[in-house]
Chains A and B, each alone.
Chain A
Amino acid sequence: MIKYLLPVILFFVLCGFLFIGLYKDPSEVPSPLIGKPVPEFSLPKLLDNSSQFTHKDFLGKVSVLNVWATWCFACKQEHPALLELAKSNIAPIYGLNYKDDAAKAKLYLRDFGNPFEANAFDGAGRVAIDWGVYGAPETFIIDRKGIIRYKHIGPITSNDLENKILPFIQQLKNEA
């Protein structure tokens, strides 16, 4: 009898492993930039191209950097989440407008609402390379000392916002 039960027993052991596996993310390879200071850069601001946005702007407060573009469909998807985050006033959101057309980007912010404190315009995408950006959208959370602490790849859902982003910002704010 045991001989015949063996397949089903083995199978349920396998199921156990698969179940645990479901809650682990195999592709969650931490970004090498986590724990590092933000890369040095200086870019013109999108809405005011006479002034510059630089890495120094991240110092002294917990902030969020969102990499976005008008051609990026997923960015549109996460836009409401960003607006919600901005409304909560918990931390300033900066934008890195990535490989985009400045005129279109301005129009986009006018039409869909502007959650950003300021936007760095990275038309050539050179600065994004230093940030290790694979594609838009990506979101970084940066602590008071200007150190990157968290990276979110892909659109932020309201679920991500509630369960990951907001608690993490709060946690950073509570740090001395």
Chain B
Amino acid sequence: MIPEIGHFALIIALCLALVQTIVPIIGAQTNTSQWIAVAKPAARGQFLFIIISYICLTYSFIKNDFSVLYVANNANTALPLQYKISAVWGAHEGSLLLWVLMLSAWTFAVTIFSRSLPNNMVARVIGVMGFVSVGFLLFTLLTSNPFERIFPVPLEGRDLNPLLQDPGLVIHPPMLYMGYVGFSVAFAFAIAALLDGKLDSAWARWSRPWATFAWVFLTIGIALGSWWAYHELGWGGWWFWDPVENASFMPWLVGTALIHSLAVTEKRSSFKNWTVLLAILAFSLSLLGTFLVRSGVLVSVHAFATDPARGVYILLFLAIVIGGSLLLYALRAPKIKSIGQFDLVSRETALLLNNVLLLVAMFTILVGTLYPLFLDALNAGKISVGPPYFNAVFVPLMLPLVLIIGIGPFLRWKKAGLAETFKKLLKILVIGLVIGTALPFVVAGKTSILVVLGISLGAWSICAALYYLFRNVFRKEAKLSSFQRFKKIPSATYGMVVAHIGIGIFVFGVTFVGAFEQEKEVPMRIGEKVEMAGYEFGFNGVKNVQGPNYSSKQASLNVYKNDKLIATLLPEKRTYLVQESPMTEAGIDTGFLRDVYVALGEQIDNEAWGMRLYYKPFIQWIWLGAALMALGGLLAALDKRYRLKLKREKVAIVSANAKQAAAATS
């Protein structure tokens, strides 16, 4: 009964989504206020019914209702409760349901936080989001119904994929989806503006916080995924250039370009077409990611069950949504004029360069990811493109980008003096180079040109951001006291500073890990000690451990530094009982300056085991950097100026809406 309610709620949600698409958009085009007024209630209703549906599926999981095929395939009576709840999005069907839940949640948020926007605009935005929702709901109902029953009812379920039974993975997909789906708001704003033909700085100001929020979620989602891979895959790596990782990274790169480009459009009325194109691209790449993961066109560790019928459906949907948007763009963009002029040396140029580099980076990743597919489609053979390609093309693009990150904020809009900026930044550049040259010696006792370059750039980015803040607080010509200035700095500025520091920290981490990590793959006998990177690892033995739905071999190793015990690591090799798949759980001693990481390998004989030992300097800085970027984004998105300006505009808009209504009724 409960699954049927869920199924039925989903059908009602689809009907509401259809209403939400058709009525408000026609209303907005014809200025019919009654039709426009349908937008918000339809969107809220849709949200409600998707929540009902989602709760029904969760309930089926908690109650071990194996008559539901999806539950039987992804749960088991022995599965702990928290994983039963997260198993809802553990495979294709349920993760789609999560996707539409989030889409409708974002739409719901738009209905709440858009009271001060013109009604026409809101109606179009909600309509466009409704259309996306129709596509996904139809997809779910037609090809991937999570409520499908099976008969005879199996006594036991097949259990959740063991890879997904990890706390990191419980929150990774929802965060990632919040990011993916969040770009649909900026996308909807862009389409609404193209439909309307009006693209002004007010439009950019409305879009900005939405785009930034989505970007924050995506940043967190990607970072969590990387953190999980580090803990769970047992190879000590944090990024694999796997097609699915790339699928999440491409919208991130474009989203980063978008939030910067929106700034130019808002402040200078420039880059309008470009910004709109980025908004379309960011969401298109999110959709493309969905397609790549679920259609089985690429080989990946993240493979969902694949089915050509699903692939054809999503591709068709992509063609309509993305193709339609880009066509609309081609028709409307030539008429949109950017008014702001700017010099070669200006903040606009710096942001344009930032955009170009990010987009080129995105294209190299897109090409690398799809290259095997292109070749296969042309019957030119099967190949795979690995990390060497991505590292070789991606890193050189990021180096100039980090350089610009330091300079950009110091450049004035429209026209900046090259010499004047250079004078301001010379000392920062020197500090960066000094740190870059000295620090690797202090940390590792050795260095290389790449390390000097990486650390210098990281230090440069951090110092430049701090210096920017410092100058704003302690400007000499100011009438206000430093404290007053400190208080007056908008939270968006803090956001920028924190995020740019995050980039620097991230670059530190990547450079140090890449250059100075050490690993050793050794057979170890019980009682034996192995030395690596100044640490001594003593193997105490292996014992059997019984988990709720797995049995495990847990090794114990003492780690000594200078003959002092600093940690006891417990790497495991788990065998999940139902799916019979072995899983590694690495034993990690996390530190601010280094991680010591042990993964348990194969048993050699009674006394000996294969062991992989890693020393990972500064690896936590990678995720610390990502966390700072996300925090920076959050600070920027919460800037009160969005709310203040909205209030002021509200009066004007209310009167405009009144006029519109009057015109419509007369």
Contacts and interface: CB of A to CB of B under 8 A. Distances in A.
Contacts of B583: none
B297 A26 contact: yes
Contacts of B284: 11
A26 B318 contact: no
Interface in B271-319: 273, 277, 281, 284, 291, 295-299, 303, 308, 311-312, 315, 318-319
Interface residues of B, number: 41
B334 A1 contact: yes
Nearest to A22: B311
Interface size class of A (residues with CB under 8 A): 20 to 34
Interface stretch (A12-20, A47-55, A60-68): A12-20
Contacts of A18: 291, 295, 297, 315, 318, 373
B663 to A, nearest CB: 33
B308 A22 contact: yes
Contact of B323 (A12, A26, A76): A12
B243 to A, nearest CB: 9
Interface stretch (A2-10, A82-90, A114-122, A165-173): A2-10
B11 interface: no
Contact of A26 (B273, B299, B311, B315): B299
A70 to B, nearest CB: 11
B271 to A, nearest CB: 15
Interface stretch (B227-235, B374-382, B392-400, B410-418): B374-382
A148 to B, nearest CB: 21
B315 A25 contact: no
Interface stretch (B325-333, B474-482, B523-531): B325-333
Interface in B564-599: 578, 580
Contact of A21 (B273, B334, B377): B377
A25 B334 CA distance: 41
Nearest to A73: B158
Contacts of A11: 284, 322-323, 326
| Interface secondary structure of B, over-half rule | helix
B377 A15 contact: no
A7 B326 contact: yes
B373 A8 contact: no
B333 A19 contact: no
Contacts of B73: 73
B636 interface: no
Interface in B212-254: none
A8 B315 CA distance: 15
| Interface secondary structure of A, over-half rule | helix
Contact of A20 (B157, B331, B377): B377
B154 interface: yes
Given A1-B330, A73-B158, A21 B373 contact: yes
A132 interface: no
Contact of B329 (A8, A14, A17): A8
A72 B376 CA distance: 34
Nearest to B374: A17
Interface in A117-176: 135
Contacts of B374: 17
B373 to A, nearest CB: 4
A23 B295 CA distance: 10
Contacts of A1: 330, 334
B370 interface: yes
B319 A12 contact: yes
Nearest to B373: A21
A27 B384 CA distance: 11
Contacts of B277: 7
A24 interface: yes
A155 to B, nearest CB: 11
Nearest to A27: B299
Contacts of A71: 578, 580
B397 to A, nearest CB: 20
B370 A26 contact: no
B326 to A, nearest CB: 4
Contact of B295 (A8, A22, A27): A22
A135 B298 CA distance: 22
Contacts of A23: 308
Contacts of A99: 580
Contact of A73 (B72, B273, B323): B72
A21 B334 CA distance: 34
A76 B152 CA distance: 10
A28 to B, nearest CB: 9
Contacts of A14: 370
A97 to B, nearest CB: 15
Given A17-B373, A21-B297, A7 B315 contact: no
13 contacts: A4-B329, A4-B333, A7-B281, A8-B327, A22-B296, A22-B311, A22-B312, A22-B315, A24-B373, A26-B297, A26-B373, A73-B154, A74-B158
Interface of A: 1, 4-5, 7-8, 11-12, 14-15, 17-27, 29, 71, 73-74, 76, 99, 135
Top 4 A-B residue pairs of the complex, sorted by shortest distance between their CB atoms: A8-B326, A20-B377, A21-B297, A4-B330
